[in-house]
Amino acid sequence: MDSEELRDRSRKFYDRQAVWYEATRRPFLLGRRQVIAALGLQAGETVLDVGCGTGWNIPHLRQGVGPGGRVIGLEMSGRMLERARRTGSAPNVVLRQGDASRDDVAVEPLDAALFSYSLSAIPEPERALDNVLRRLRPGGRLGIVDFRVRGAGALDALLLAHGRRCSCDFAVDPVPYLLGRGLAVRVHPQLFGYGYRLVAAQPDPQIVSERTGAGAAGAVWSARSRPPSPVRSRAGGPRTPRG
């Protein structure tokens, strides 16, 4: 399947899922509130929710940026976005239909961006990350929460197969890519290692970063100067289209 077919398949899948989405996903999509808290949103900031789905995160993001801030939700599925519009509309919320890996994700500079269980659902995750990082201000924060399968056991295979049925690739690992782009990354494993949440900070020339090592609060890596590496798939190489 080429990337065009994958996008089409993903959009149709989430269009069909929109009615059931909230009721069926809530028990499994853990860590959304925690990753938003870790973004450290400030009053007046602009935050982008990439693949905002039915808009579950929108009220929490609004609370973070306050009435003077802005929340932008970008979503590829029209049906998911319809539901987000029903519950998430507010004067300081902009909900747009678009493809994070193809379209300009925002016209304004962003203080923060969130991929909440959406990075694994985006057929071209590296392009989506590129698009977001292009708009993220120096010192801006990127939060990601998602599933991640790294082993080769029976449960791993089962989860990867389930992911494919849901039009997702749970082998996507953005950490090498973000480190390669010079971001400082803090990762917290969750779901017994089958998921993670992370916050990465765009380098700010004003701040000299240092390697800080691993601590109780999660593994911390500092920005290091090396060329960008691809978003890792299970094979350890660039992600290939899913069939």
Ligand X SMILES: C[S@@+](CC[C@H](N)C(=O)[O-])C[C@H]1O[C@@H](n2cnc3c(N)ncnc32)[C@H](O)[C@@H]1O
Residue ranges in contact with ligand X by CB under 6 A: 10, 14, 29, 32, 51-53, 56-57, 74-77, 80, 99-101, 116-118, 121-122
Minimum distance of ligand X from residue 52's CB (angstroms)? 5
Q: Could you tell me the CA-to-CA distances from 216 to 3, 143, 188, 191 in Å, in that order?
A: 40, 19, 10, 17
| Minimum CB distance to ligand X smaller for 96 or for 220 | 96
Minimum distance of ligand X from residue 204's CB (angstroms)? 27
Q: Which helix (DSSP H) or strand (DSSP E) does residue 84 occupy?
A: helix 78-88
| Minimum CB distance to ligand X smaller for 166 or for 219 | 166
State in Å, rounded, how far the first CA of the chain is from the last one. Answer: 5
Q: What tokens were used for 222?
A: 């500092």
Token match 């380098």: residue? 203
| Minimum CB distance to ligand X smaller for 122 or for 179 | 122
Minimum distance of ligand X from residue 32's CB (angstroms)? 6
Q: Which helix (DSSP H) or strand (DSSP E) does residue 72 occupy?
A: strand 70-75
Q: How far is 41 from 27, CA to CA, in rounded Å?
A: 25
Q: For ligand X, which residue has the nearest CB?
A: 53
| Minimum CB distance to ligand X smaller for 112 or for 179 | 112
E strands present in 155-235: 184-190, 195-201, 214-215, 218-221
Minimum distance of ligand X from residue 173's CB (angstroms)? 17
Minimum distance of ligand X from residue 116's CB (angstroms)? 4
Question: Which residues, 6+ apart, have CB-to-CB distance to 226 below 8 Å?
Answer: 179, 180
| Minimum CB distance to ligand X smaller for 139 or for 241 | 241
